Amino acid sequence: MIKEGIRKETGLKPEWAAESFSDIASDVRQSIARIKASAVIPHTDAVRGFIFDVATGLAEEGKCQQAQVSE
């Protein structure tokens, strides 16, 4: 639905997948773990993720130690 709206507005269909999540911190941890586990990214020792709160303007760093990679 989002992709179709963008396509109608811009004439271009996005190539990326629109994803949703119920636990933002868990999603950030999972994204960090996925990047660190990637064979195509050569330097993964400084991967970081943040959660930006639009209401407060504050960013909180996501921690990776509990992340599980899922496909």
Q: Where does the pLDDT of residue 65 fall: very low under 50, low under 70, confident under 90, or very high at 90 and above?
A: low
Please report the pLDDT score of residue 13 as a whole number. Answer: 85
Distance CA 51, CA 69 (A): 19
Look at residue 29 and give its three-state secondary structure: helix
Q: Where does the pLDDT of residue 64 fall: very low under 50, low under 70, confident under 90, or very high at 90 and above?
A: low
| Stated pTM of the model | 0.60
Using alpha carbons, select from 67, 30, 32 the residue that is nearest to residue 49: 32
Residue 16 pLDDT exceeds 70: yes
